[in-house]
Amino acid sequence: MALTSSPMKKGLFIIIAVVLAPALLVGVVALAAGDWQEIGATAAGDQVLVSSVSARKNGLRSAWIRVEYKEPTKLPQGGPFVELRARVRFNCASAVPGVVTNSEWFYSRDHSGKLVVSKKTHRDDQFGQASEGDFGGMAREFVCKQK
């Protein structure tokens, strides 16, 4: 006798998965908050923090980057945002400092941390450039200097 599940059970499973997915995503971002280290501020006064730096092969390093905007900021992805968090992989061996080999971004609109935009990319030439708040060089320098 073959075991089959009813369409109702499958539908319930899908509904639960859809409801829990955003909560799990926010939970992953919150886990990275355990060891935030402030590394400086941008010219606009936005605080830049880094967490969970880890070394990879061939000069790659990954880290969580958080920017707390002094004033709610409109970015190319929308907004206004009060905070940006990104899981980023830097190629510290590369001569091109602005290129991020892999990034996953999470933006929040309000101080409660409400997630409003998320973006994932395999290559991000605009990470932390002027349109994003001009924090990329500071973040890359800090992450690449970690042992």
Q: Where in the chain are the domains?
A: 31-145
- pLDDT value at residue 41: 93
Task: Indicate the pTM of the whole model.
Answer: 0.67
- pLDDT value at residue 30: 46
- pLDDT value at residue 39: 93
Name the CA dihedral angle for 53, 132, 111, 85, rounded to a multiple of 10 degrees. -20
Joined tokens for residue 21: 């997915």
| Sign of the CA dihedral running 41, 120, 27, 147 | negative
